[in-house]
C-alpha cells in the first residue's frame, strides 16, 4: 500500500477526517515517485507509412507519428511493438481534422515529417523527437528519448517523456491547479480528489486536464498528454532545463500542438477536445445556492426576497437535503410535500430549479434505483467480483460504472421524474469519485471503459466526466432537445462538451478569492471556459467586504453562483447589511446588463474556440513581463478586468494591454501598453472597455426574458484604427443555432481623424425580439456632431437622464459621425 494511503488510514482512525488535509499538504504525493530502472528507446532502425502516420522502430519498440492537421501531430509509444486500442474519452469522435499535405524526408541523421506548418524531426541515432516550424526553427525538443518502466504489480508500463525547457520558457494550463498561472518550477499530479478546504499550491485537486502550453515571448506550443491514469508533470522543477510528464500506466501518447500564439494553441486544443455548447441563456444569469435550502418554505422565502429587493436571479439550487435520506432521484416529502407545485411557482416567478445528484447509490433493497442497478449489474465491482462499497452521504453505497455505455444510458433515464417535476438543471458532485474515509475507490475496482476494460487506475480520472456526460445526454433527451444545464466538480479533458464546472470547496478568505482568480483563468485556458467559484467561499465566514469583492469578481466569472456550506451564516446578497446589499445589487445588475455581451463570448467560445477568460500572457505573449502577470484578465475580447482581491484596498496597479481603454464606471480614458494606478472604491472595480468596441447592453431584468426588449442598446467606444465587434443573439433555449437559427452581427468600427464609422454585417436566420438600436457613444471627439446612417442624416435623441443617443434601424449598413 502506498505510504500516503497508509498515513490516511492511520490518521482517520486516530485523528478523524480533518487530519487528511494536513497529510495532503505535507505529503505532496508527486514527491513519492518510486526509484525505478528505465528502458529507453535506442536508435531508429526502420520506418513504415500507415495512412496519415509514420511508424518508426528501434527493432522492438515502436513510435507512431500521426498527422492530424498542419499544426497537430500525435506521438505514441509501444514499448513491445503493439499499440493499445486507439480510444479516447477526451478527443471528439467527430474530428474533422486533415493536414493540407504531409511528407517524409530522410536525412543522413534524421527523418523529417513535414506538414505545411510543422516539422517533426526524429533523430536516427538516439530517437530524440523535436518539433519546429517549416523554416528550421526548433520549438520543442526531447531531452531524453521516450522511456518506460515495467510495472510488476499491474502489468503495463510507467511511461515517461522528458523535454528541454528553455531558460525563458513559461508554462500554463493543467486545469484547476491552485497555484500561480506560470507553472514553471513546480511539479503536479493528476488524480481527481475531493479536497474540502484545499490550500494554495495543494495538489492534486478535483480535475485532470493533462494539457499545457509552453511559451517564450515569440513561440507557443501545446502538449496534450491524453492518458487517464495518474499522470505527473514537472515544469523545470527538478532540473531547471527539463520538463517531464509521465504516467503510472497506459500509453505514452501525446499531441504536439503548434502555435506560434498561445491563442492558436488553445483553439487547436479545442479542435481536438471540443468546446462547450451554447448554454441556455438563464444559465449565465446569477444563481443562488446553499447547502441546503430546505424546507420548501425556506426556498420560497429566499426567492421572494430576491424579487422583493429587486435583485436579479435566475436559478435557485437544492443541495442534498431535498432527497429522501440522500437517495438520488427521490424527494424528502416532509420538506418538499409537492415539489412539482413549488418548482412551478418558482418558475412563474422567473426561477429555474437546479438539483444535486451524486454517484453514491444507497444500498437499500427497497429503493428502486438500487434495485435496477443491482439487477442489471450496473454497479462497480472489485477485482474479485465483490461490489465496490463505500460510505458517502446516504451511508453504505454502491456506485454506477459510468464508463459502461449501458449504464450511462440508464442513468440518463433516471432523471425522468425530476424533469417531469420541472427541474431545469443538474449539479453532479462527489464524482472524483469521493468515498468517506478512504478518499476514493481502491485500485482493483474494475471498469467497462467502453468495452476496453480497465481497473480504477485507468478509469478514476474519467469517472466524473462520464457521469456528467450521461446526465447531459439524459437531460437532452428528456427536456426535448432543450440545451441542458449541468455542472460537475470532477472532470477530465473534454468535459466542456457536456458540462460547466466549479472549483469545489473553497474557503471564505481573501487568499481564496485570489486562488479563484487564478483557477478560473487557468481552467479557461485549459478548455473549461464555463467555470466558476463558490462566490463568498464555501466554508468559513466572509465579512461584507470579502463577500462583495467576490461578487464583483463573480460578475466576470463565466459561471456566477453564490454557494456556502451548511454550517455557515446566511449568504444571500442582503445578508451583510444594506451597504453591502446595495453594492451587490449594483453588480448583479451589471451582470444582467452585460448578458448579451457575455452570451456573445460564449458563442465565440463555442464557434470560434476562443477561451472566455484570457490572461494577459495570452493577450500579449510578445512581452516577457506579461508571462508573469496574473491579476487582470480579458473577459472576452473587449473588456478587461482586474478584481480587487485585498481587504481595505483603495487603489490598484492595473496593466492595460496595447490600445486605448475606457474605465467602465465613468468616461475616463487610459492609454494601453502600460500600468496605471486605479482607484478602487468599494462600489466600483477596475473594469475597462477597449476603444473601438461595440458593447451590447440589455436593460436590467429580474431574470432572463422577463421582458421583451424593444431596442437593443449598443455602447460604442471611440478608438483610433479599425476594430471588429460581434453581437450574438438567439432565442436562448434549443439547439436550433446548429441549423443557423441565430443572429450574429459583425460591427466594424473605424476611427480616424475624429471621424467614426460603423459598418454592420448580419449573419444567420434568427429574427430578434427588438426593432431598433439605441447607440450611445463614448470618447467621441468634441468636434463630432453630425450623424449619417446609410446616407441619411440622423438627429440625436435624449434618454430620461438626458444622455444623448442615436436611434437607428437595426439593419443599418453604415453609420458615420463626423
**Could you tell me the smallest distance in angstroms from the CB atom of residue 561 to ligand GLC?**
10
Binding to ligand GLC (CB under 6 A) within 421-450 occurs at 429
Query: By CB under 6 A, how many residues form the interface with ligand GLC?
Result: 9
| Residue 203 or 505 having the CB closest to ligand GLC | 505
Cross-strand pairs, 317: 354
| Residue 193 or 247 having the CB closest to ligand GLC | 193
The single residue among 74, 270, 489, 723 that binds ligand GLC, judged by CB under 6 A, is 489
3-state SS, residue 406: helix
Residue with cell 478514476: 460
Contact 536, 547 (CB under 8 A): yes
φ/ψ of 39, rounded to 5, equals -105, 135
| Residue 512 or 563 having the CB closest to ligand GLC | 563
| Residue 254 or 291 having the CB closest to ligand GLC | 291
Based on the residue annotation, tell me whether 429 is a catalytic residue of this protein.
Answer: yes
The single residue among 259, 274, 504, 719 that binds ligand GLC, judged by CB under 6 A, is 504
**Could you tell me the smallest distance in angstroms from the CB atom of residue 484 to ligand GLC?**
19
Q: Does 206 bind ligand GLC (CB under 6 A)?
A: no
| Residue 430 or 618 having the CB closest to ligand GLC | 430
Distance CA 664, CA 594 (A): 12
**Could you tell me the smallest distance in angstroms from the CB atom of residue 565 to ligand GLC?**
6
**Could you tell me the smallest distance in angstroms from the CB atom of residue 536 to ligand GLC?**
12
Please provide the DSSP assignment of 203-227 as one string. Answer: ---SEE--EEEEE-SS-EEEEEE--
| Residue 563 or 586 having the CB closest to ligand GLC | 563
Q: Which bin fits 791, alpha (ψ -120 to 50), beta or left (φ > 0)?
A: left
Q: Does 694 bind ligand GLC (CB under 6 A)?
A: no
Q: From the candidates 432, 443, 534, 545, which is the catalytic residue? A: 432
DSSP code, position 327: B
The single residue among 12, 320, 583, 588 that binds ligand GLC, judged by CB under 6 A, is 320
| Residue 256 or 291 having the CB closest to ligand GLC | 291
**Could you tell me the smallest distance in angstroms from the CB atom of residue 427 to ligand GLC?**
8
3-state SS, residue 325: coil
Distance CA 634, CA 636 (A): 6
Distance CA 425, CA 484 (A): 7
Based on the residue annotation, tell me whether 432 is a catalytic residue of this protein.
Answer: yes
Among all residues, whose Cβ is closest to ligand GLC? Answer: 291
Binding to ligand GLC (CB under 6 A) within 613-672 occurs at none
Binding to ligand GLC (CB under 6 A) within 544-563 occurs at 563
Contact 178, 200 (CB under 8 A): yes
Binding to ligand GLC (CB under 6 A) within 300-319 occurs at 319
**Could you tell me the smallest distance in angstroms from the CB atom of residue 356 to ligand GLC?**
6
Helices (H) and strands (E) in the chain, counts: 14, 54
Q: Does 571 bind ligand GLC (CB under 6 A)?
A: no
The pairing of strands 560-562 and 286-288 is: parallel
**Could you tell me the smallest distance in angstroms from the CB atom of residue 429 to ligand GLC?**
5
Q: Does 505 bind ligand GLC (CB under 6 A)?
A: yes
DSSP code, position 422: T
Distance CA 363, CA 683 (A): 51
**Could you tell me the smallest distance in angstroms from the CB atom of residue 471 to ligand GLC?**
16
Give burial (CB, 10 Å; 0-12/13-18/19+) of 790: middle
Contact 564, 534 (CB under 8 A): yes
Binding mask 254-293 for ligand GLC (x = CB under 6 A): -------------------------------------x--
| Residue 539 or 605 having the CB closest to ligand GLC | 539
Contacts 24+ apart (CB under 8 A), 99-104: 99/52, 99/67, 99/68, 99/69, 99/70, 100/70, 102/52, 102/67, 104/47, 104/49, 104/54
Whether the bond between 796 and the residue before it is cis, its omega within 30 degrees of 0, is: no
| Residue 458 or 563 having the CB closest to ligand GLC | 563
**Could you tell me the smallest distance in angstroms from the CB atom of residue 89 to ligand GLC?**
23
Angle, helices 3-15 vs 19-26, to 10°: value is 150
Residues that bind ligand GLC (CB under 6 A): 291, 319-320, 356, 429, 489, 504-505, 563
Tell me the catalytic residues: 429, 432, 505
Amino acid at each position: 500500500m502506498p505510504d500516503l494511503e497508509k498515513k490516511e488510514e492511520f490518521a482517520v482512525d486516530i485523528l478523524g477526517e480533518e487530519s487528511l488535509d494536513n497529510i495532503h499538504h505535507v505529503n505532496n504525493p508527486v514527491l513519492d515517485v518510486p526509484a525505478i530502472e528505465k528502458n529507453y528507446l535506442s536508435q531508429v532502425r526502420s520506418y513504415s507509412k500507415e495512412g496519415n502516420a509514420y511508424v518508426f522502430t528501434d527493432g522492438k519498440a515502436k513510435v507512431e507519428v500521426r498527422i492530424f492537421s498542419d499544426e497537430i501531430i500525435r506521438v505514441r509509444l509501444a514499448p513491445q511493438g503493439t499499440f493499445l486500442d486507439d480510444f479516447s474519452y477526451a478527443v471528439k469522435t467527430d474530428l474533422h481534422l486533415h493536414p493540407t499535405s504531409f511528407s517524409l524526408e530522410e536525412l543522413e541523421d534524421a527523418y523529417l515529417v513535414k506538414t505545411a506548418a510543422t516539422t517533426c524531426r526524429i533523430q536516427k541515432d538516439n530517437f530524440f523527437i523535436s518539433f519546429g516550424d517549416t523554416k528550421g526553427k526548433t520549438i520543442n525538443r526531447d531531452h531524453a528519448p521516450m522511456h518506460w518502466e515495467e510495472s510488476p504489480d499491474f502489468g503495463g508500463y510507467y511511461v515517461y517523456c522528458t523535454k528541454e525547457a528553455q531558460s525563458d520558457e513559461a508554462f500554463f494550463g493543467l486545469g484547476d491547479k491552485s497555484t500561480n498561472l506560470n507553472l514553471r518550477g513546480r511539479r503536479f499530479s493528476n488524480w481527481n480528489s475531493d479536497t474540502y478546504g484545499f490550500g494554495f499550491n495543494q495538489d492534486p485537486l478535483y480535475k485532470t486536464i493533462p494539457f499545457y502550453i509552453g511559451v517564450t515571448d515569440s513561440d507557443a506550443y501545446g502538449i496534450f498528454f491524453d492518458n487517464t491514469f495518474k499522470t505527473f508533470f514537472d515544469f523545470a522543477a527538478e532540473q531547471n532545463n527539463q520538463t517531464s510528464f509521465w504516467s503510472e500506466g497506459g500509453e505514452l501518447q501525446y499531441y504536439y500542438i503548434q502555435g506560434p500564439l498561445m491563442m492558436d494553441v488553445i483553439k487547436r486544443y479545442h479542435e481536438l477536445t471540443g468546446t462547450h455548447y451554447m448554454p441556455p441563456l438563464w444559465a449565465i444569469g446569477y444563481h443562488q445556492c446553499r447547502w441546503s435550502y430546505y424546507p420548501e418554505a425556506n426556498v420560497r422565502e429566499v426567492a421572494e426576497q430576491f424579487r422583493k429587493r429587486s435583485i436579479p436571479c435566475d436559478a435557485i439550487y437544492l443541495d442534498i437535503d431535498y432527497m429522501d435520506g440522500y437517495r438520488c432521484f427521490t424527494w424528502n416529502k416532509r420538506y418538499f410535500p409537492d415539489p412539482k407545485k413549488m418548482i412551478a411557482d418558482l418558475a412563474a416567478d422567473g426561477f429555474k430549479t437546479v438539483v444535486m445528484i451524486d454517484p453514491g447509490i444507497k444500498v437499500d433493497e427497497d429503493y428502486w434505483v438500487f434495485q435496477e442497478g443491482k439487477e442489471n449489474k450496473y454497479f462497480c465491482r472489485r477485482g474479485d467480483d465483490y461490489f465496490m462499497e463505500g460510505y458517502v452521504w446516504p451511508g453504505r453505497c454502491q456506485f454506477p460504472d459510468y464508463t459502461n455505455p449501458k449504464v450511462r444510458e440508464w442513468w440518463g433515464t433516471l432523471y425522468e421524474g425530476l424533469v417531469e417535476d420541472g427541474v431545469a438543471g443538474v449539479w453532479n458532485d462527489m464524482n472524483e469519485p469521493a468515498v468517506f474515509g478512504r478518499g476514493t475507490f481502491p485500485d482493483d475496482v474494475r471498469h467497462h471503459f467502453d468495452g476496453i476494460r480497465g481497473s480504477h487506475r485507468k478509469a478514476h480520472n474519467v469517472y466524473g466526466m462520464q457521469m456528467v456526460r450521461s446526465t447531459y445526454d439524459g437531460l437532452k433527451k428528456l427536456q426535448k432537445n432543450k440545451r441542458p444545464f449541468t455542472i460537475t466538480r470532477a472532470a477530465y479533458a473534454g468535459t466542456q462538451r457536456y458540462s460547466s464546472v466549479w472549483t469545489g470547496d473553497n474557503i471564505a478568505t481573501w487568499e481564496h478569492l485570489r486562488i479563484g482568480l487564478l483557477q478560473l483563468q487557468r481552467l479557461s485556458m485549459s478548455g473549461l471556459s464555463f467555470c466558476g467559484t463558490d462566490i463568498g467561499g464555501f466554508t468559513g465566514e466572509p465579512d461584507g467586504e470579502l463577500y462583495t469583492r467576490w461578487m464583483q469578481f463573480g460578475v466576470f466569472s463565466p459561471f456566477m453562483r453564490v454557494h456556502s456550506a451548511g454550517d455557515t451564516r446566511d449568504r444571500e446578497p442582503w445578508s451583510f447589511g444594506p451597504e453591502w446589499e446595495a453594492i451587490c445589487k449594483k453588480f448583479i445588475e451589471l451582470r444582467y446588463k452585460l448578458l448579451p455581451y457575455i452570451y456573445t463570448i460564449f458563442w465565440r467560445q463555442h464557434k470560434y474556440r476562443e477561451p472566455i477568460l484570457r490572461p494577459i500572457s495570452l493577450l500579449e505573449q510578445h512581452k516577457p513581463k506579461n508571462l508573469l502577470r496574473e491579476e487582470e484578465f480579458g473577459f472576452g475580447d473587449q473588456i478587461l478586468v482586474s478584481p480587487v482581491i485585498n481587504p481595505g484596498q483603495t487603489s490598484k496597479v492595473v496593466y492595460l494591454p496595447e490600445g486605448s481603454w475606457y474605465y467602465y464606471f465613468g468616461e475616463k480614458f487610459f492609454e494601453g501598453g502600460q500600468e496605471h494606478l486605479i482607484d478602487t472604491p468599494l462600489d466600483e472595480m477596475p473594469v475597462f472597455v477597449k476603444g473601438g468596441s461595440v458593447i451590447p447592453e440589455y436593460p436590467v431584468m429580474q431574470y432572463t426574458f422577463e421582458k421583451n426588449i424593444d431596442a437593443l442598446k449598443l455602447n460604442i467606444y471611440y478608438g483610433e484604427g479599425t476594430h471588429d465587434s460581434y453581437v450574438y443573439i438567439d432565442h436562448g433555449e434549443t439547439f436550433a443555432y446548429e441549423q443557423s437559427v441565430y443572429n450574429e452581427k459583425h460591427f466594424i468600427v473605424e476611427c480616424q481623424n475624429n471621424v467614426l464609422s460603423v459598418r454592420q454585417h448580419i449573419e444567420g436566420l434568427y429574427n430578434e425580439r427588438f426593432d431598433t438600436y439605441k447607440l450611445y457613444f463614448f470618447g467621441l471627439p468634441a468636434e463630432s456632431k453630425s450623424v449619417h446612417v446609410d446616407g441619411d442624416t440622423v438627429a440625436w435623441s435624449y434618454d430620461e437622464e438626458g444622455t444623448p443617443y442615436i436611434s437607428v434601424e437595426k439593419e443599418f449598413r453604415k453609420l458615420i459621425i463626423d
